[in-house]
Amino acid sequence: MSEEQIKNLEKQFEERIARDEKIEPKDWMPDKYRQTHIRQMSQHAHSEIVGMLPEGNWISRAPTLRRKVALLAKVQDEAGHGLYLYSACETLGISRDALYEQLHSGKAKYSSIFNYPTVTWADMGAVGWLVDGAAIINQVPLCSTSFGPYARAMVRVCKEESFHQRQGYEIMLKLTQGTPEQIDMAQDALNRWWWPSLMMLGPTDAESVHTEQSMKWKLKRKSNDDLRQQFIDQTVPQAELIGLTIPDPDLKWNEERGSYDFGEINWDEFWQVVKGHGPMNKERMKARIDAWEGGEWVRDAAMAHAEKKAERKIKQAI
């Protein structure tokens, strides 16, 4: 193709997106579009499966049968989200194995929030309420993103994430109606998860890369700082309703802006965790790599068995 033809295709492509048409896997797309989507969708998929670990940590110790069943179902949903997102990614011509490879080698990132430990039962409440809550704020705009398979995956994922968020909030609510020890447990969890949840919405706009291009492709529809403000404005009244205190002395309603002002985020901590030095980065990666490497013989056996079965079928047919 001549340079001019490619320019033409690109122009038509951008026009389709501007008209709110969906791009499907078989459609022509600029290579940069493909690579950007592989990066963002796989990062999202990795976050879902790494995110299973901190909550999986409490399955065997859930306090009641009802809570245990709900937690199992939640973590299973996250595995399901990982599965759709990897499949959506595969439509762009990359295998799930290759994506795992990128995760394990550290080339691909996942949401840094999962590098914090879940130390008490209240963390199951805080994670559902805040982490799934922030995930929804990030993801609802993606339900109308330009790449069809991603947009459709997000519609389904967001429905389940909002269920998780309500479930997490309900765990917190129950704790705050309990004994002083339970109330302390809830407040402590909020204290530990609040700031990392704010960081989860991404670096401040001044430091955020690729934003303009992503806006055009509808991979990003609002800036990180806007999303963060939306999350804070939504969450503060929820905390007040159950008698918990947001651990930010600078938090204050700003009548003029119709929003909360809030204190400074410790971006050094954020970058430290992104760079691999959070409290659980090494353990999370080790758990994923162990599961993958430890499962290799199982996957090989399944493949070998399927081949044997197919061979037998052919022989029978002859």
Partner 1 sequence: MKNENLYNYILGIADNSLILGQRLGELTGHGPSLETDIACTNMSLDLFGQVRSYYQYAAKLKGGDATEDTIAFLRKERDYVNVLLVEQPDRDFAYTMARQFLFDVYHLLFLQELQKSHDITLTAIAKKSIKEVSYHQRFSTDWIKRLGDGTTVSHDKMQEAIDSLWTYTDELFHQTAADKAMVAEGIGVDVTALKVKYYSLVNAVLEEATLKIPESKWFQKGGKKGIHTEHFGYILSNMQYMQLAYPNMEW
The binder of 161, among partner 1, Fe ion, none, by C-beta within 5 to 8 A per type, is Fe ion
> CA 89, CA 102: separation in Å to the nearest integer?
13
Q: Is 59 an interacting residue with respect to partner 1 (CB under 8 A)? A: yes
Q: For the segment 111-150, give every residue that binds partner 1 (CB under 8 A).
A: 121
Q: Is 68 an interacting residue with respect to partner 1 (CB under 8 A)? A: yes
Query: Which of 11, 32, 61, 156 lies at the binding interface for partner 1 (CB under 8 A)?
Result: 61
Query: Which of 164, 192, 220, 284 lies at the binding interface for Fe ion (CB under 5 A)?
Result: 164
Closer to Fe ion by Cβ: residue 137 or 280: 137
Q: Is 104 an interacting residue with respect to partner 1 (CB under 8 A)? A: no
The binder of 132, among Fe ion, partner 1, none, by C-beta within 5 to 8 A per type, is Fe ion
> CA 60, CA 96: separation in Å to the nearest integer?
29
Closer to partner 1 by Cβ: residue 33 or 121: 121
> CA 80, CA 67: separation in Å to the nearest integer?
20
Q: Which residues contact 166 (CB under 8 A, 6 or more apart)?
A: none
Stretch that binds Fe ion, among 60-68, 135-143, 211-219, 277-285 (CB under 5 A): 135-143
Q: How far is the CB of 135 from Fe ion (least distance, A)?
A: 4
The binder of 164, among partner 1, Fe ion, none, by C-beta within 5 to 8 A per type, is Fe ion
> CA 188, CA 186: separation in Å to the nearest integer?
5
Query: Which of 5, 294, 314, 316 lies at the binding interface for partner 1 (CB under 8 A)?
Result: 294
Q: How far is the CB of 252 from Fe ion (least distance, A)?
A: 31
For residue 209, give the amino acid letter: V
Q: Which residues contact 93 (CB under 8 A, 6 or more apart)?
A: 34
Q: Is 291 an interacting residue with respect to partner 1 (CB under 8 A)? A: yes
